[in-house]
Amino acid sequence: MTNQVKEDSVPSLRMVDIVFAIICIAFSIFLMIGSVRLGAKWTPEGPESGYFPFYIFLMMLIASSVTLYEAIVINKKKPREDFVEKHAFQQILCILFPAIAFLIGVSLIGIYVSSTVYIAIFMIWIGKYPYWKATLVGLSVGVILYLMFEVWFQVPLPHGSWFNPLSYVGVN
């Protein structure tokens, strides 16, 4: 990979390392505090609930701190490396934003309807499939998921907190 900054580049690898290390440090501290609240000691009966998670997140905190130190101090004088090209980053965003919309949809209208819509839209948008094929596959996956989880395994998945479209066909 070249060390020259390209006109259409996005963040540098060093900047991504710094941001991700800070996120991991904050995440580790947050979860270590939760582990302490659960109990992170070794008692005569054995470990408390938060014992192992506390030490796992302590290791994650140490590793993230080392990564942050390297990115800020050691890699400061290294030539810039691009994290990703602009075109590749746009392709990532084409997947990321619909995935976020799917997760919000699962919460609001349930997993079955969200999965059906998500699959159909991706088949049409990214795969360039005809509408009828995308609709057929999306509906098939939604129905199969419903039968598999709700009927066969008897494990209800989210139906939607805001609106449950399945209630119109008798599914609560």
Q: Which of 117, 119, 125, 121 lies closest to 160 in space, CA to CA?
A: 117
Please tell me whether the overall predicted TM-score, pTM, comes out greater than 0.75 for this model.
no
State the pLDDT at residue 51.
92
Give the Cα separation of 79 and 36 in Å (integer).
42
The mean pLDDT of the chain is: 87
Tokens of 54: 């506390």
Amino acid at 121: I
Tokens of 155: 């494990």
Q: What would the DSSP string read from start to end of 35-58? A: HHHH--SEETTEE-TTHHHHHHHH
pLDDT, one tens digit per residue, over 60-116 is 999 999 999 999 998 888 888 888 888 888 888 888 988 999 999 998 888 998 999
State the pLDDT at residue 1.
47
Q: Which of 45, 161, 56 lies closest to 108 in space, CA to CA?
A: 161
pLDDT, one tens digit per residue, over 145-171 is 989 998 899 888 888 777 766 666 666
Regarding predicted confidence, which is higher, 105 or 3?
A: 105
DSSP state of 78: S
